[in-house]
């Protein structure tokens, strides 16, 4: 099953444990995480169900979107982008 990992920066704001979940896509895997940990959803997705502007997903080291396919052994990393000047 894919493994979903949240950056420590995000974990400072909301409890979001690393999880192994089912799902054929990034979005399906995240939906499984949100089902078990609903407090995480608002930090990752906006009101329309899209990734928030400053949230990035990487699957097996490559940037990904919600519709990208994941393998059973994939690692999905959820990060908040750092911005500023």
Question: φ and ψ at 81, to 5 degrees?
Answer: -70, 145
Q: What is the pTM of this model?
A: 0.88
- Checking DSSP bridges between strand 62-64 and strand 75-80, what pairing results, if any? unpaired
Given CATH 1.20.1640.10, say whether it is the number of domain 3-80.
Answer: no
Domain limits, the chain? 3-80
Sequence-ordered alpha helix ranges (H) in the chain:
8-11, 26-36, 41-44
Q: Is 78 exposed, middle or buried (0-12, 13-18, 19+ CB in 10 A)?
A: buried
In order along its 85 residues, the chain shows pLDDT tens digits of 999 998 877 767 777 778 899 999 999 999 999 999 898 899 899 999 999 988 999 999 999 999 999 999 999 999 987 665 5
């Amino acid at each position: 099953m894919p493994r979903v990992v949240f950056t420590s920066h995000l974990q400072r704001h909301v409890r979001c444990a690393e999880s192994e979940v089912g799902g054929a896509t990034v979005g399906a895997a995240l939906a499984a995480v949100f089902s078990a940990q609903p407090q995480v959803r608002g930090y990752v997705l906006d009101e329309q169900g899209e990734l928030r502007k400053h949230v990035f997903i990487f699957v097996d080291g490559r940037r990904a979107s919600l519709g990208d396919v994941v393998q059973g052994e994939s690692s999905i990393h959820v990060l908040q982008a750092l911005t500023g000047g």
